[in-house]
Structure formats: structure tokens, C-alpha cells
Chains A and B, each alone.
Chain A
Amino acid sequence: MDASNYLYISALLFTIGAVGVVVRRNAIVVFMCIELMLNASNLSLVTFSRINGDLDGQVMAFFTMVVAACEVVVGLAIIVAIYRSRRSASVDDASLLKR
């Protein structure tokens, strides 16, 4: 099977994630879209690893997962904190820096 098909899927997933970040208001959904983008890039990395026949890309994918896990911890904590104080999880409501 041609390795480039994995890359097409990766691009598709990344685009879906990016569009989701831009168009959705709910912080949780935005967050999940970010995870989708991260996983899309992971898929690309693993594919590159397969194409090149070495393990560099797979190592990179592990690093990405570690970063994503940390990011989930911090990001969910922020979202929960914002929800507690503002009773809303909409990203558009959290625009205090504008003023």
C-alpha cells in the first residue's frame, strides 16, 4: 500500500481539526480538535518513519504524545477554571484581554 495515502489521511484529519478550532465556540470541542491535529501530525511522523526506514519519526511521535498529555492536563485545568468563574465554556466569552 502506498505510504502517501497515510499522508492524505493525515492532511485530512489536520484540516478537520484546524477548521474545528476556527469555527467551534465550545472550549472542549476546540480542545478535542487540537488533539485531532496533534494526532494528524503523529500519523505523518510515523508515516515518514516508515518511508525512511528508521525510527526517528516514531520517537518524535512519542514526544508529541508526551507533550499532548501535558497539554491536556494544563488545558483542561484552565477550561475548568474558566467555566467555574464564568459559567461558560465558550472561547468567545473569554475575551478580557481585548479591553
Chain B
Amino acid sequence: MFISNTLVYLIALPLAGAAILLLAGRRTDKWGHLLATAMSASSFGVGLYQLMLMLDRPTEQRPASQKLFEWIHVGEFKVDAGLLLDQLSICFVLLITGVGTLIHIYSISYMSHDKDRRRFFAYLNLFIASMLLLVLGDSYLNLYVGWEGVGLASYLLIGFWNQKPAYATASKKAFVMNRVGDMGLSFAIMIAFATMGTVSFVGVQEQVSQTSEAALTAIGLMLLVAAAGKSAQFPLQAWLGDAMAGPTPVSALIHAATMVTAGVYLITRSNFVFDAAPTAQLVVVIVGAITLMFGALIGTAKDDIKKALAASTMSQIGYMTLAAGLGPVGYAFAIMHLLTHGFFKAGMFLGAGSVMHGMNDEVNMRKYGALRKFMPITFVTFGLGYLAILGIPPFAGFYSKDLIIETAFDAGGAKGIILGITTLIGASITAFYMTRVMILTFTGTKRWDGDAHPHESPWLMWLPMAILAIGSVSSGYLLSRGDALENWLYPLFDHSDEYQKHLIEPIIVSGMALTMVAIGVAVAYFKYARQDVSSTAPEDVSIFTKVARQDLMQDRFNEAVFMRPGQALTTTLIATDQAVVDGAVRGVGQVALSSGSALRGLQNGYVRSYAAIILVGAIALIAAIWVVVS
């Protein structure tokens, strides 16, 4: 293992930025955003430098580590605050700092009218630092610190405009649902420590062969709960739609490109656990498949452009989770889809932000229309992202999504057919709702509210969109050319045993996928481009649309199954506490008090009554002795 001393700068730079901006307060209002952007960019620079160093080293020497300090040392339990940069982490480091820097640049302009712009940038830097710690930690415990850090940053940024109660509620909802997942992660760490005695990635990997499958399955399932919470996977998916309350750059960075993919990172990072626990792996696949359909179905009914994109994010992460659950073959494809998705989805979110910027923060797509002429750059960059997510060759999504569909079919048997068909239908629905977004936003007739004056965004905003659009076009090809990413990640995910046995020829899979996409596009075209779209959502819709508009009843389900029984439980517990526990304590006091006041009556101050009591007592005593003796 190569020892490096410069890894810490990746985290330290943005963390210092956040600290300066938060501690120095309003004094930094004038230049805070520039400092934050510079910190993020220099972290990206360090990342590139590390990549260069890594490429110079031979394959087995590529992972680099750095021990920061001894963190916990209690008896046999020893955890160092250490960083690990390997082939998997570097992908994330570059994605986080790269996309992060672009979004910093975008936000300079997007947030320029907000008087709290400095605070926004401080949180963004805090997020970048936490996310880097998450992917660079060399043990589950270090990862956990970053994991909580991104949760905090996400909470702060969703509720950035917390003067609106609904937004504050949304951030609280996201935080609480994330806590459910965090609980899973802490359980996984505890089980790992109890059964293996270590929580470092290297240590756990070494111990896997000597650990029972039951323990590994438990760890795997708990890790999946954690991943589901952070990545908005079924059944902890309900927070992502509401998280769109945050400023749009936040949605692009945290809730599309980076933080929500932390779950996929966790699963791929724990590949050794899942490979040894087939049951947990199967559950991962099932969760991925359910979520990809779930998100896609919600996406078809949303009129809010950001919520439609959020549903799409959920669905695309479902694809990644599904791929990650397919074993060694799938990990690399999950990461590839994660990277390409990072480009095109961040690009589309920024595009949505650009549209909102020009339309007085209107998010309802039914109030858009015909924006192509007014926002040509946004239209082109959004369009490239659209082609990428659809999976049209040669755009990025074509490579990554087709590989996942192929792998799903390759799983073999009924499982392969079910997963393959699910991913194909998912692709078709994706095509439908993304086409709907495109048509409603950029083409057709003007359905604007009276005072809208759409205009192209300033260059600070369209430049990041353009760069991300270039990524949406080229990243898929670059990552899959000569299996570049697979070979890069090969030392981590050794899939030589089961690779290269395609059950269906890739070209046929691509053909099927493109056919399904074409069907989706055609349906959307005939439904939205050939007919007039009303500027208000029609009410006389089928039951399915109504259900989808309400996010497939996810909130009602949570309320009925968890919230109300939970509230009933707490009310019962409070009542029990007051009646039984407090009752016992108060009862003891009450008995002492009442017996005291009863006895107090004897102390009446009359000597004669005292004498009478003494007399009665003496007689009683003598009588008692007499009875006992005789």
C-alpha cells in the first residue's frame, strides 16, 4: 500500500473554506463565494494530481493511504482516522470535486440575489468536505463520519430557505428518513465489530472468509438499509421529492450527482460482504428493481420539473443498485452509470434551474412551453442530457444503461428475465417522462403566466451546463472504450470467474432497449406534442395518474404504517410512563404524605390526649404480653 501525505488536502481545503465562511460571518459576504469556489476547485486540482500519481504507480501499488491520527484506542478496539484513495475512491473524488466546482460556479450567478449567498457556499463546501471524507475513509467508522456530515449538509441546504415552513418541513423529513438509514449503518458497524472485531475495509475483507453467512447477511441487509436511506431507495425513498425544496444547484449536486449515490458507493465498497452473502445480494437487486419502477412511475405524473427530475434520479439510482446487486460483474457498471448519471442529471438539474431563473422561479412545466427560442443554450445542454438519459447512442447513458440491462439478462434463469424486462420497461418509461419534460418545457405553445420574461441565463450559469453537457455526450464512450473503467476497477472487483458469458447478444439487447425507448418517446410525443396541453393539471384522469401524482401513496403509506402507529406507541408510552412509572414514584410519596397527615392528627398539643395514648399503648402492650405468655 502506497503511503501518501497529501490526501488530507482533498478534505482540508473545502473544510477550511466552510470554517472560514461560517466563522467569519458577514465580513466574508463580498468574497465568500469566490473563496468557496476556489477551495472546491483546488480540491479538484489535488484530486487530478492524485490521479496522475496513481497512474504512475504499478497496478498493485495504486491504492494510497494516509493515517491522520489515532482516533479510538480502547482495549482491543482500535480505529485510526485514516484515508484510503483507491481506484474506486478516485472516481468519486473527481466526480464530487469536478461537478461540485462547476456547481459552485453556477451558484455564484444563480444565488447572486440571495442575501445569504455566503452561508449557501459555506454549506456547499461543508458538503464537499463531508462527501470526500465519506469516500476517502478507510473504515466504516470513518465513512460514518462523512455519512453523517453529508446528511447534515443536505439538511441545511434543503432547508436553506427555511423561512418557508414547507421547506423547513421538507428538510426535516429528509433528515429523519436519513436517520432511519443511518441506524442501519450503525447496526452494520456494530455487527461487523461483534463478529469480526474490526471495522476497517481491509480488516473486514480479510475476515469475511471466517465469518458465518448469517452474520454477513445481517451486515449486508443493514448496509442496504443505510444505502436505501441515503440513496432514496425503496422503502426509504419518500424524502427525495420533497428535498427539491432546496435551491436548484443543491438538487443538482447533492440530490442528483453525489450524495444520493453514496448508497451505491457503500454497496460497491462492501462488495466482499455482499459477494459472500447471496441473500443480501438478492435483496439489493429486488430493492433496485422496485425503486427503478417506482421512480419511473412517479416521474410520469409530476408537473413540477424538479420533482420529475428527482423521480428520475430515484429511478436511475435504482438501476445502479440493481447493477450493484448483480455481483462482481455489476459493480463496475453501477459505478459507470453513477458517473455518467452524475454528468447528465446534474446538467439537467442546472438546466431546470436556468429555466426557473428565466421564468420567475416557476416550477410547473404546464406553465412553460416554447422556451427553445428564448433559451437556446439551456435547450441544447438540457437536450444533450435528455439524449444521454434515454440511452441514445453515442450519448453517455447508452453505454452505461445498456451494460446494466445486459448484465440483468445475464443473471440467468427467471431472475435474469424478470430483471431484464424490468430494466427494459424502466428504460421505456424513462423515455416517456423525459420526453414529456422536454416537450412541456421547450416546445409547443406558450403557457406562461402574465409577467414571465424568459431569457437566457448569464455565462456563469450556462458554462457549467455546457461542460456537463460535454460530459453527458462523451463520458459513456470514454469510460467504456476498451472496457476502460472495468479494467481500472478490476483489482477491486475481481469478476474473472463469471465474466464473458452473455446469454443474449449485446447487440440484441441494445436493439430491444432502443425499441422500448422509441415506444416511450412516441407515446409521449402523441400525448403531449400532438395535443394541446392545458396550463392546469386535468382533474378527470385515471386512478393510476392520481396515485402517481401522489407519489404512489408513499407518504400516506408511511403515515399509516409508521407515523400513526408510532404516534400511538409514543402516546401509549407516555401514558404508561405517567401512570405506571411516575404513578409508583408518586404513589410512594402520596402514601408517606397521607399517612403523615393522618398521624399528624395525634399531635394535637393536649397533654391529656398524649397521656391517654400512652395509657392505651401501655395497656395494649401488657395485654399483648399477657396473651403471648399465657
B612 neighbours in A (Cβ, 8 Å)? 22
Alpha-carbon gap, A95 to B611, bound state (A)? 14
- Give the most central of A22, A23, A96, A97: most B CB within 10 Å: A22
For window 577-608 of chain B, which residues contact chain A by CB distance below 8 Å? 603-608
In the complex, A21→B616 CA distance in Å?
13
In whole Å, how far is B369's beta carbon from the nearest beta carbon of chain A? 90
Interface size on B, residues (CB 8 A): 9
Let me know if A22 and B605 touch, CB within 8 A.
no
Q: Which of B604, B608, B615 contacts A98 (CB 8 A)?
A: B604
**How far is B608's CA from A30's CA once the two chains are assembled, in angstroms?**
9
Closest to A94 in B: B607
Is B611 touching A96 in the complex (CB atoms < 8 A)? no
- Interface contact B603-A22, CB-CB below 8 Å: no
Bitwise interface map of A from 48 to 87 toward B, beta carbon under 8 Å scored 1, else 0: 0000000000000000000000000000000000000000
> Is there an interface contact between A25 and B603, defined as CB atoms closer than 8 Å?
no
B606 CB contacts on chain A under 8 angstroms:
91-92, 95, 98
- In this complex, how many residues of chain A approach chain B with their Cβ under 8 Å: the count is 15
Query: What string of 1s and 0s marks CB contacts (under 8 Å) between B41-80 and chain A?
Result: 0000000000000000000000000000000000000000
Q: Using Cβ atoms and an 8 Å threshold, which residues of chain B touch A18?
A: 615
Interface string of B599-627 (1 = CB under 8 A from A): 00001111110011001000000000000
Q: Name A91's closest neighbour in chain B (CB-CB).
A: B607
Contact A98 B605 (CB under 8 A): yes
Decide: B615 and A22 in contact? CB cutoff 8 A: yes
Check A91–B608 contact: CB distance below 8 A. yes
A25 and B608 within 8 A (CB)? yes
Residues of A within 8 A of B608 (CB): 21-25, 30, 91-92
Q: How far is the CA of A30 from the CA of B603 in the complex (A)?
A: 20
A23 to chain B, nearest CB (A): 7
When the two chains form their complex, are residues A97 and B611 in contact, meaning their CB atoms are under 8 A apart?
no
Asked whether, in the complex, the Cβ of B611 is within 8 Å of the Cβ of A21, the reply is yes
Chain B residue with Cβ nearest A92: B606
Bound-state Cα–Cα, A97 to B605, Å:
6
Bound CA–CA A92/B605 (angstroms):
8
Q: How many angstroms between the C-alpha atoms of A45 and B626 in the bound complex?
A: 19
Q: How far is the CA of A67 from the CA of B606 in the complex (A)?
A: 25
Cα–Cα, bound, A97→B604 (Å)? 9
Instruction: Tell me the bound Cα distance from A99 to B615 in angstroms.
Output: 24
Residues of A within 8 A of B605 (CB): 95-99
Complex Cα–Cα for A97 and B602 (A): 13
CB-CB nearest in chain A for B618: A18
Question: Could you say which residues of chain B place their CB within 8 Å of the CB of A99?
Answer: 605
B residues less than 8 Å from A95 (CB atoms): 604-607
CB neighbours (8 Å) of A96 from chain B are: 605
- Closest Cβ of chain A: how far from B587's Cβ, in Å? 30
Query: Residues 34-45 of chain A: 1 if any B CB is under 8 Å from the residue's CB, otherwise 0?
Result: 000000000000
Complex alpha-carbon distance, A18 and B607, angstroms:
13
- From residue A88, how far is it (CB to closest CB) to chain B in Å? 13
What's the least CB distance linking B610 to chain A, in Å? 10
Chain A residue at minimum C-beta to C-beta distance from B605: A98
User: What's the least CB distance linking A21 to chain B, in Å?
Assistant: 5
Of all chain A residues, the one with the shortest Cβ separation from B603 is A98
- The 0/1 profile, CB within 8 Å of A marked 1, for residues 435-451 of chain B is 00000000000000000
Chain B residues positioned under 8 Å from A22 (CB to CB): 608, 611-612, 615
Which B residues lie within 8 Å of A97 (CB)? 605
B80 to chain A, nearest CB (A): 73
A91 CA / B615 CA spacing, docked (Å): 17
Interface residues of B in 212-237 (CB under 8 A from A): none
Q: Which residues of A contact B615 (CB under 8 A)?
A: 18, 21-22
Q: How far is the CA of A18 from the CA of B606 in the complex (A)?
A: 16
Chain A residues with CB under 8 A of B607: 30, 91-92, 94-95
Nearest residue, chain B, Cβ from A96: B605
CB distance from A7 to the nearest CB of B (A): 14
Closest chain B CB from A43 CB (angstroms):
18
How long is the Cα–Cα vector from A24 to B607 in the complex, in angstroms?
Answer: 11
A18 CA / B615 CA spacing, docked (Å): 8
Compute how far the CA of A49 lies from the CA of B138 in the bound complex, rounded to whole angstroms.
99
How many angstroms between the C-alpha atoms of A25 and B608 in the bound complex? Answer: 8
Which parts of B297-341 form the interface with A (CB within 8 Å)? none
Of chain A, the residue at the smallest CB distance from B607 is A91
* Residues of A close to B603: CB separation below 8 A: 98
Question: What is the bound-complex CA distance between A21 and B607, given in angstroms?
Answer: 9
- Chain A residue contacts of B611, Cβ below 8 A: 21-22
Q: Min CB distance, B424 to chain A, in Å? A: 94
Q: Which 5 interchain pairs have the tightest Cβ spacing?
A: A98-B605, A95-B605, A91-B607, A22-B612, A21-B611
Chain B residues engaging chain A, CB cutoff 8 angstroms: 603-608, 611-612, 615
Q: List 8 A-B contacts (CB under 8 A).
A: A23-B608, A30-B608, A91-B606, A95-B604, A98-B603, A98-B605, A98-B606, A99-B605
